[in-house]
Amino acid sequence: MKPGGFAGWGNRPDASSSTHQPPSMEKPRIRVLLLCGGQSTEHEISLESCRSVAAAVDRERFQPFVVGITREGVWQYYGDEDFADEVDDPTKIHLRPDAPLCYPGRSAQGAVLYVEGMDAAIPFDVAFPVLHGIHGEDGTVQGLFDMFGVPYVGCDYASSANCMDKDITKILLNSAGFRTAYALVLRRGESLTEDYVEERLGMPLFVKPARTGSSVGISKVKTAADLSAALKEAFRYDDKVLLEECIAGREIECGVLEMPDQTLFVAHPGEVVPHDEFYSYAAKYLNEDGATVKVEADLDEEESEEVKRLAAKAFHVLGCKGMARIDFFLSAQGDWVLNEVNTIPGFTSISLYPQMMKNSGIPYAELITNLIENALTRHQNASVLLK
Ligand SMILES: Nc1ncnc2c1ncn2[C@@H]1O[C@H](COP(=O)(O)OP(=O)(O)O)[C@@H](O)[C@H]1O
Ligand SMILES: [Mg+2]
């Protein structure tokens, strides 16, 4: 099916493929589709992340163009133009309205974007989902790109889906010998007595939806009387909710990057020190004083090597690709407890993942180049395997 308003299939709009141009010896730039926005609660942070990526990507090698996904799930085409308004306020930043609609698809030449009102489809070589949460970090958009046979940055559909669901992540990690916070799982319609919960998990405990991010829907429960309100809040966001023992200790985060040759690089770990009860949504985005974020955690050599080893192992166990930020607790007893795996971590130039990479010798623009090259290499190797 061809979406309305679009007329052509084959005519590539960039000069490098025009028959009227003399053949150029220069390597054509790699066309990178940057996807941002989306339907998740992390829409705004995705716009911020994408602005940073678009500003820093190496334009000698790559030709970026942006597609913004609205909160309603509509794809809008921005090309290489500004795509966001009110960019200085993280609570107000939004996609510029009135951009043409677009649809991804596949022509005989490869993946393309059909843009309303344009008479030629726009081909692209690689996609970079700078999205968080539902339909961005959960494997859905990754599966879509698989269907179109186009490489994409970061985790594949299966590892994205497994890491999005905190219950499944635990099952996989526990079976590989990792320590995670002990949890009870409730599906919508199920219930547990307060006594049973308190006996198994103690107090305080954490209640969290299985598949959100940015601490959305998460509560720290201190007394049995607060349990039902916390469950109600978590069930607003998901049909599955975890009740978790509280791990008292430090929060240490590890950035893992799969290099273009597919070897793993793990940056020196960072640390988050929440100033309040825990690292809440407000502490992450609204309250500048909500937490201290340390690009380099103060760990001794042995601790640092151990958590890096665990992060690399978890990356492989979960089948991650490209990148992940793997978050641990270092418990008061000195145990490493793996909390969660973020397959598309915050990606503004001041976010912890890029900062940890920079601190360990990979500046932001080089990080983007590595990720895109990694996506291209993996795709090439997978194509060979398919033959
Ligand atoms: N079991 C736990 N013990 C102690 N703190 C926790 C626990 N689970 C979550 N937290 C706190 O809540 C924050 C958000 O929880 P997390 O599981 O990382 O969800 P999200 O995916 O929304 O970031 C953590 O950074 C931490 O401060
Ligand atoms: Mg977290």
Closest CA to 140 of 162, 126, 160: 160
Give the residues across from 104 on adjacent strands. 113
Give the end-to-end CA distance of the chain in Å, rounded to a whole number.
Answer: 29
Ligand 1, residue 166: give the atom nearest the CA: 17
Q: Which residues line ligand 1 (CB under 6 A)?
A: 181, 206, 208, 212-215, 218, 244, 246-247, 251, 274, 278-279, 327, 339-340
Ligand 1, residue 248: give the atom nearest the CA: 4
pTM (2 decimals)? Answer: 0.91
Q: 152 C-alpha vs ligand 1 centroid, how far in Å?
A: 29
The one-letter amino acid code at 147 reads: M
The pLDDT value recorded for residue 127 is: 98
- Determine the Cα–Cα distance for residues 371 and 180; give it in Å rounded to an integer: 29
- Determine the Cα–Cα distance for residues 322 and 339; give it in Å rounded to an integer: 20
Beta carbons of 378 and 156 less than 8 angstroms apart: no
Give the model confidence (pLDDT) of 85-113 as tens digits: 999 988 899 999 989 999 999 998 899 99
Q: What is the DSSP string of 220-254?
A: EE-SGGGHHHHHHHHHTT-SEEEEEE---EEEEEE
- The residues, any chain, with a CB within 8 Å of residue 270's CB and separated by 6 or more, are 252, 253, 254, 255, 293, 294, 295, 296, 297, 352, 355, 356
Give the model confidence (pLDDT) of 256-265 as tens digits: 999 999 999 9
The pLDDT value recorded for residue 93 is: 95
Name the closest ligand to CA 281: 1
- Determine the Cα–Cα distance for residues 175 and 362; give it in Å rounded to an integer: 33
Substitution site in 42, 45, 218 for ligand 1 pocket (most atoms within 8 Å of beta carbon): 218
Please tell me whether residue 127 adopts helix, strand or coil conformation: strand
pLDDT along the chain (387 residues), means of 10: 33 40 73 96 93 97 98 96 93 94 92 94 97 93 95 98 98 98 97 95 97 91 96 96 98 98 97 93 84 96 98 98 98 97 93 97 98 96 70
Q: How far is CA 159 from the centre of its chain?
A: 12
The pLDDT value recorded for residue 10 is: 29
- Determine the Cα–Cα distance for residues 170 and 181; give it in Å rounded to an integer: 8
Substitution site in 339, 340, 342, 344 for ligand 1 pocket (most atoms within 8 Å of beta carbon): 339
Give the model confidence (pLDDT) of 289-337 as tens digits: 889 999 999 999 999 999 999 999 999 999 999 999 999 999 999 999 9
H or E element, residue 270: strand 270-274
Of how many residues is the chain composed? 387
Ordered domains of the chain (ranges, CATH): 15-152 (3.40.50.20), 163-179+248-386 (3.30.470.20), 183-245 (3.30.1490.20)
Beta carbons of 310 and 336 less than 8 angstroms apart: yes
Ligand 1, residue 217: give the atom nearest the CA: 22
